[in-house]
Amino acid sequence: MGKSGRPLWCRRASAAVLVYLAMVTAVSGILAPRAAAAAVSSCRIGAYVTDLYGLNVSPRTVNADFWLWSVCPSAALDATRRLEFVNATQVTQTDRSVEKIGDEYWSQVKVSGTFRQQFDLSEYPFDKQDVQIRIEDSEFNSSQFTYVPDTANSGYDHEIELGGFKIRSFGTRVVTHTYQTSFGDPRITHGQNSRYSQFVIGFKLARDDVAGFVRETWPAYVAFLISLISYWIWSKDLLSIIGARYGILGASLFSVVVNMRSSSLAGTLFGVTLVDQIQLITLLYTLIAVGCTTYIVWRWADHERNASVRRVNHFVAMATTAAYLAANAVSIGFAIT
């Protein structure tokens, strides 16, 4: 007998029971989430893109034709019958088929559609684009159904030609997309979000249009050379030829402005492109040359300052030319890397 009045064997038995109950509770806590996760239905889904075309930066769309398939544990779960193309403006589905293979159901459908994109033209015409097609289950949320990507069998036709772009990479993945609403579902607590499994088909494209770059920037570089020449128009009777200097700078400014208007790629919608950057740098270079010429006219009447005015002219010419070339090198370097 112990001090508590109970036999020693009784106390040991009670302790063993408590340890056992604690272990059962811990194991149940570990296994319960796994059992809940295992209850979520899933289908293996993949895609093969047969054509990618009509990439258009103005409406920000691209057209695609592809085969989409799913492998599901039951015919009722067929994922190709509940497809929502999240970023599609229009889409058609044809040639649907379902076949039982062993204990699984293989279904496939051919899809053709136009898909909205977010294009970044800041490096045009050496821009890189990320084209995506997003597909979601139209009925079940992620707590009821999830996609499993069939990355091994997914791919694209390597004969696809997409204008001036080259396909750098392709991939498929599954993400969970969150909506800031319950869509009125009574099963979801008010204020909570809805989550859906989303299958993403992605292309990384790159454009390397050297000819287009030369075509759209050569007027800017001609304007730069004209402005550079203006610095070397000089004589002892400078005021008699200053009109010629202003004249060629005016022609340079006019050339840059006209070229900016004609080659603009809807800049108000897509921001400043590489071509726009070069034209703006050239415009700034020419305006500085105009400012330098105006300074010379202002100071030239003081003959004692003529030598220093000429030194200022040469310094501005060399400094701005070096800055112009460096700015071009940096802008082009970032675009092509």
DSSP string, 177-214: EEESS-TT-TTSPTT--EEEEEEEEEEEEEE--HHHHH
User: Which amino acid, one-letter code, is at 21?
Assistant: L
> Of the residues 207, 225, 242, which one is the last residue of a structural domain?
207
Domain endpoint, select from 190, 207, 224 = 207
Q: Are residues 271 and 156 in the same domain?
A: no
Residue that terminates a domain, selected from 207, 241, 265: 207
327 and 228 in one domain? Answer: yes
Mean pLDDT, residues 193-213: 91
Q: Distance (Å, rounded) from C-alpha 307 to C-alpha 324?
A: 26
Q: Which residues contact 70 (CB under 8 A, 6 or more apart)?
A: 43, 44, 45, 78, 79, 80, 106, 107, 108
197, 260: one domain: no
Q: Residues 75, 142: one domain? A: yes
pLDDT tens track for 85-142: 999 999 999 999 999 999 999 999 999 999 999 888 888 889 899 999 999 998 898 8
The residue range of the domain holding 93 is: 41-207
Q: Which has more confidence, 320 or 184?
A: 320
Q: Where are the beta strands (DSSP E) in 256-329?
A: none
Tokens of 75: 């015919």
| Token pair for 96 | 């649907």
Q: 145-149, 238-242, 278-282: lowest mean pLDDT where? A: 238-242
Residues 155 and 167 in one domain: yes
Contacts of 211 (CB under 8 A, 6+ apart): none
Structure pTM? 0.74
Highest mean pLDDT among 101-105, 182-186, 263-267: 101-105
Q: Say yes or no: 170 and 55 in one domain.
A: yes
Instruction: Give the lowest-confidence range in 81-85, 232-236, 294-298.
Output: 232-236
Residues 45-65: pLDDT tens digits?
A: 999 999 999 988 778 899 999
CA-closest candidate to residue 40, choices 205, 213, 176, 221: 176
CATH code for the domain of 120: 2.70.170.10
Domain count, the chain: 3
- Residues 202, 222: one domain? no
Clarify whether residues 179 and 305 are in a common domain.
no
Q: CA 290 to CA 254: how far, in whole Å?
A: 13
User: Based on the domain organization, do 76 and 187 belong to the same domain?
Assistant: yes
Please give the single-letter amino acid code of residue 279.
Q
- Give SS3 for 95: strand
pLDDT tens-digit series, residues 273-326: 899 899 999 999 999 999 999 998 888 777 777 788 889 999 999 999 999 999
Share of the chain above pLDDT 70, in %: 85
State whether 188 and 56 are in the same domain. Answer: yes
Are 52 and 178 members of one domain?
Answer: yes
